[in-house]
Amino acid sequence: MNQTDPLISSRPALARARNLLSAEKPEAAAREVMNHLRRHPGDPEGLTMLGSIANRLGALEQAQQFLRQAIAAGARGPDARRELAAVYNQQQRPVEALALMEELEREVSDLAIPSARSALLDKLGRHDEALELQQQLVEQAGDTHPNLLIPLGHILRAMGRVDEAVAAYRRAAGADFEFGEAWWGLASIKRKVLTDQDLEMIARGIEVAIDPRNSAPLHFAMAKALHDRERHAEAFAHYAKGNAQRAESLKYDPAELTAEITEIERTIDADFIARLPQEPVGDGAIPIFIVSLPRSGSTLLEQMLGSHPALEPVGELPYGPAILRSAIELATRRGSMTVPQLTRTLTDDQARVLGEDYLRRAAEHRRSDSPFFIDKLPHNWSNLLFLKRILPQARFLDIRRNAMDCCFSNYTQLFSSAHASSFDLTHIGRSYVDYVRLMAHLDGVAPGLVHHIDYAAMVDDPEPQLRPALAYLGLHWDPAILQFHKLDRVVRTPSSEQVRRPLNRDGVDIWKPYAQWLDPLRDVLGPLADA
């Protein structure tokens, strides 16, 4: 006689919810769990499952609420805490996630947990600790876990230890020739490290790879290797395939950003800017946001300004977008809400709380007592007004690169989903147009809010570009800025090696060998393509 599953007999609604989740029906599963919780209020297992479903649906604030309730109600085992750590990580709350990971590591034997802890340490700027832990994990697992070798390579590369990073990526590729991220790690190094034999292995990987998470980076790696060999037609064919795979998986809609910028043009005027609070929030820290499209020279600008003794560079902090996302999620519980609407309707108290939250999180990355610190997350450009609303003392530096160079450089870079517009020539062109529209509108309604820097002019002769930028910040010129390549710091962007070299024009006119295939980009850029 078959025994009945205890879950089915005692919690049939949860059993049905599990079946619905297996059938990719999370909304229906959530309804079953909520029915269960109406009959069994405070049930830890039901709350854990509901938190997991909310996380799956992207409702991170709700997921956090349910999972914390589950833990408070006595949820047994690691599931609720592990899920909550994942939610905290997505919410860009690394301190909270790290505390949970440390707790779980004492209870659960799973290499993924200390590896996640290493990533959190790295995110918090505790790079030496992250490196030591990741090296221990690799030594423990050997070459049987290429997923452990990739983050080791990333940490080493960011610290400027490029040869060791290359060795880590090669070990990962050697363990699994189909592992696209390993080959892209090698290809993205700012020197030619891929051999002809490597190209043969990458081609084999492309032939057999089924999962786009492998095949897309394999195509990008092949494209970069062919570019280095000046085989531009073949390189572009692989760029096109890799980008098409990423675009298909992300389903990015450029119309949403265009509509948001149009709404700003329609609703944000000089009177709104004049009414914004002027009193600083927090403890006197002054964030300087470098705002631009990716691949515009923001890392170089950060490195140069970070050489000034009064300015502390802290990298690309994810906290602005994360705080905005949480605020939007809470606001939309009462109805639909756009980012411009949220920016206009925040009360002064709400804005102050959000600004203080940003400064609290940013303080985890501070190592100096200077009031000025630089957050160079590029896509903060579209969040600029929200950031100004919650941080009245914030300053904004816009660095602009030639449209064709900038957009094509985005197209050749395997970004995360945070830069989802980069995987289609038309989409990235539209983003550039929207970015220029926003900057032009702000210059009209709020002259002086944003200070602009020309990338090409800065590369050719930096002092005339950077002296006015420092004056905008209220700082004097310091010749250390011109010795930026000697600054010893961790740089976690694709330009990490480039900024450790003296100024050069390597990034100028990079699109020209591919001109015959870039008509879709030129068409959407219009006059900006020739600016």
Q: What is the pLDDT of residue 488?
A: 65
3-state SS, residue 395: strand
Q: Where are the alpha helices (DSSP H) in 57-145?
A: 60-72, 79-90, 94-105, 112-123, 127-141
Joined together, the tokens standing for residue 140 give 């423990």
Q: Report whether 518 contacts 404 (CB < 8 A).
A: yes
Q: Which residues pair with 397 in a beta bridge?
A: 290, 451
Joined together, the tokens standing for residue 85 give 């750590």
Q: What is the pLDDT of residues 165-222, one digit of tens each?
A: 999 999 999 999 999 999 999 999 988 899 999 999 999 999 999 999 999 999 999 9
Measured in Å, how far apart are the chain's first and last C-alpha atoms?
A: 79
Q: What is the pLDDT of residues 309-344, one digit of tens each?
A: 999 999 999 999 999 999 999 999 888 999 999 999
CA distance 476 to 419: 35
Q: Provide the strand spans (E) within 145-212.
A: none
Number of Cβ atoms within 10 Å of the Cβ of 477: 13
Owner of token pair 């080493």: 156
CA-CA distances (angstroms) from residue 302 to 161, 273, 305, 440, 495?
20, 27, 5, 23, 11
Question: Phi, psi (5° rounding) for residue 311?
Answer: -120, 130
CA 479 to chain centre: 32
3-state SS, residue 518: coil
**Which parts of the chain have pLDDT scores under 50?**
1-9
| CA proximity to 526, closest of 443, 466, 465, 436 | 436
Q: What is the pLDDT of residues 135-157, one digit of tens each?
A: 999 999 988 889 999 999 999 99
CA-CA distances (angstroms) from residue 494 to 138, 309, 463?
24, 25, 25
CA-CA distances (angstroms) from residue 24 to 161, 252, 339?
43, 21, 30
Q: What is the pLDDT of residue 2?
A: 41
* Cβ contacts of 111 within 8 Å, gap of 6 or more: 137, 140, 141, 145, 148
